[in-house]
Amino acid sequence: MRQAGGIPLTPTLSPKGRGRDPREREGEGAYPKFIACLCLAALIWGSGPAFAASPERVATMSLCTDQLVMLLADPDQIVSVHWVTQDPADSAMAEQAARYPANHGLAEEIIVLQPDLVFVGPFNSPFAKAMLARQGIPVHVVPTAVTLDDVRANIRTVARVLGVPARGRALIAAFDRDLALTRNALRDADYRALVYGANGYSAGASSLFNEVMLHLGLENVAVDYGMEGWVKMSVEDVVGADPDLLVLGDYRLDAPSQANMVLHHPALTAIRTGKPVVRVPTTLWNCGTPRLAEAARLLAERTMPETAEVSGR
């Protein structure tokens, strides 16, 4: 995946091994983040700005905030989205995002657009955030969602800041209706499942895909090994874990990439024999949006096709 500076390597299957969030995109990070900058951020933004009226010109600077804003704002309110959101390999809303001017996470690009509100994520450059604040442009930081409740909370907050709380409530209600169709859909299969993607990354506790698996009634092998967040696993780790269900990533499979070579390792081919192996588009679960309900539906249907009848698809 294209990451801001790349995702650093983490220990494999060590107790409480921790990984970095894969949404650190190009142009969205300036590292290291110095303590002084973090303190400044806390002083400037706190829990986010409050608005007496709905903002008329909204810019958004990260893949995940872009999608929430596009789901909630009026189209003519949006003046810019991040360029990654316009790439269908990264974004579930690339077609919609293509309507807007692209930014690369740079404050200079945003200032000239004269927005009255900017949404950013935790991995945007703290220097860009500070520059916008110095120009008097309100900046709202949307935290990374790692649970389904976090997704609901972010939708509620973004809708409030945009001045459309009713739209937020409606979006959450639709999300919950879609989730209800697949709740515990795979519980009776009693599968120990593992997601495995480019560069050997898997999802442990405190990750959205873990939430999807728990929602479906699956046991996450990575959590059993004490892993948290996005963690790197070797092929040997996967073979040793011996999952009943393997969920493989599909990120840019057609592009020449050393990152995806691990998915074609002969040892993985061997353990896949006689077991369900499914692919779920990463664009559906790389951000905390209602698309997670679709990820859950596809995982259930592709694991046990008979669940398609239950979900009404």
Domain chopping of the chain, boundaries = 35-143, 187-311
Class of domain 35-143: alpha beta
Give the pLDDT score at 9: 31
DSSP label at residue 91: -
Indicate the length of the chain as a whole number.
Answer: 313
Q: Is 248 helix (H, G, I), strand (E, B) or coil?
A: strand
Give the pLDDT score at 271: 80
Name the CATH superfamily for 187-311.
Nitrogenase molybdenum iron protein domain (3.40.50.1980)
Give the pLDDT score at 54: 87
Cα distance between the two ends of the chain: 31
How far apart CA 232 and CA 246 sit, in angstroms, is: 15
Q: What angle do CA 220, 15, 30 make, to 5 degrees?
A: 90
Q: What is the dihedral of CA 286, 289, 293, 295, to 10 degrees?
A: -20
Give the pLDDT score at 253: 65
Q: What is the pTM of this model?
A: 0.81
CB 275 within 8 Å of CB 303: no
Whose CA is closest to 213, among 181, 245, 250?
245
Give the pLDDT score at 296: 97
DSSP label at residue 278: E
The residues, ordered by sequence, that sit 6+ positions from 270 with a Cβ below 8 Å of its Cβ are 239
Rg of the chain taking only CA atoms, in angstroms: 20
For 123, 166, 218, 238, the CA distances from 265, given in Å and listed in that order, are 32, 49, 25, 11
Give the pLDDT score at 199: 82
Whose CA is closest to 291, among 165, 184, 145, 185?
145
Q: Tokens 């807007």 correspond to what residue?
A: 100
pLDDT tens digit at each of 313 positions of the chain: 433 333 333 333 433 444 444 444 434 444 344 334 444 444 344 444 545 578 999 999 999 999 999 999 999 999 999 999 999 999 999 999 999 999 999 999 999 999 999 999 999 999 999 999 999 999 999 999 999 999 999 999 999 999 999 999 999 999 999 999 999 999 999 999 999 988 889 999 999 999 999 999 999 999 998 999 999 999 999 999 999 999 987 777 666 777 677 777 888 888 878 889 999 999 999 999 999 999 999 999 999 976 554 444 5
